[in-house]
Amino acid sequence: MAGQLKEVRNRIKSVQSTQQITKAMKMVSAAKLRRAQDAITQMRPYAKKLQEMLSNIVSATEGDMTIKLAEARNVEKVLLIVITSDRGLCGGYNANLIKLAKNTIAEKYAQQHKNGNVTIWNIGKKGFESLSKAGYKTNDTFKDIFLNLSFENVQAAAQAAMKAFENKEFDAVEVIYSEFRNAATQRYTLEQFLPIPKVTNTSGSKKSDFIFEPAKEELIAELMPKILNTQLYKAVLDCHASEHGARMTAMDKASDNANELLKSLKISYNRARQAAITTELTEIVSGAAALQG
């Protein structure tokens, strides 16, 4: 009985210790989330407008000139840029992104994968570790971007993807990331990066008519890479905020679960303690009765 009490006491201490850690991690993630949320909230309208402008330019100039980054080709070689986090303890966040990557390959690029023509560039260590172990063709050049998150580091990845597409190393480039909604909600997204998607005009309205100054070719050559850099940076910021939101939510739930477990353990401890006291009293009474007899 004494051994059982000691075991329950040890479990209570262990759960209390774990709960302190989960509460501390929740507070840290909440502080980081505020900064990450501010960053993506400020970036999103700007990036959205740039994306609309880029798609409109590509659609408006269609037939007038050849734009390498908008050139639609028969898709034989594919690049997936998969953005996950460097650390775990954030619920199903990384698992959902990795699942989306695997499903995309299985459903959309099955033949290309069979031919060994699907390459994954990982941003974030968790995705790289998981997809490498699963036997996918991965590249770790940009996996440590979150160690020093900056526009310049993300720009390097975007420019490398653009160069590879222009050199026909890949016929399509897609980005898998988590779009931040709020601390408890993320939308796991597959987004076409290259070739640049054109505006889908289903309403019958006219395409945007741009007046180019300086020359159209010169302006597009300067504008497109900058806009694409911004698009990838926006996706990385979305993931950065999503990670901290998911971790904060996961740690909050873990703390609540620890509370429930502590309640259950304390009930078990009190019952075991009462049983021990009852046993001791019974032994004392039995001993006294034996002496009297």
Catalytic residues: 90
Minimal CA–CA distance to 131: which of 114, 146, 143, 148?
A: 143
Cβ within 8 Å of residue 48, ≥6 positions away: none
Residue 93's alpha-carbon distances to 15, 77, 167, 180, 211, in angstroms, are: 24, 28, 34, 11, 44
**Which residue has tokens 């390459």?**
119
The one-letter amino acid code at 232 reads L
- Look at strands 185-194 and 172-182 and give their pairing: antiparallel
Report whether 8 contacts 261 (CB < 8 A): no
Q: Which residues pair with 190 in a beta bridge?
A: 176
What are the two backbone dihedrals, phi and then psi, of residue 289, each rounded to the nearest 5 degrees?
-65, -35
